[in-house]
Amino acid sequence: MNAPLMERYYNQRSARLTFRKTTEADIPAWSVFFIDNDRLHFLGMPLDGTPMELSAWWIHKQAERYRDTGFGHLAATLPSAGGLIGMAGVIPRDLDGETLYEVAYSLMPGYWGQGYGTEMAQQMKSWAFEHLPVEQVISIIHKDNLASQHVARKNGLLPWKETDYSGMPVVVYRGLR
Q: What is the CATH number of the domain that holds 160?
A: 3.40.630.30
Give how many domains the chain has, as a whole number: 1
Whole-prediction pTM value? 0.95
Per residue in 116-142, pLDDT tens?
999 999 999 999 999 999 999 999 999
State the alpha helices, DSSP H only, in the chain.
3-10, 27-31, 51-69, 116-131, 146-154
Which phi and psi angles does 105 have, rounded to 5°?
-155, 155
CA distance 151 to 154: 5
Query: What's the domain range around 80?
Result: 3-176
For residues 12-32, one letter each, b for 16 or more C-beta atoms within 10 angstroms of the residue's C-beta and e for the rest, the string is bebeebebebbeeebbeebbb
Q: Determine the length of the chain.
A: 177
Whole-number pLDDT of residue 142: 97
- In one-letter notation, the amino acid at residue 142 is H
Whole-number pLDDT of residue 47: 92
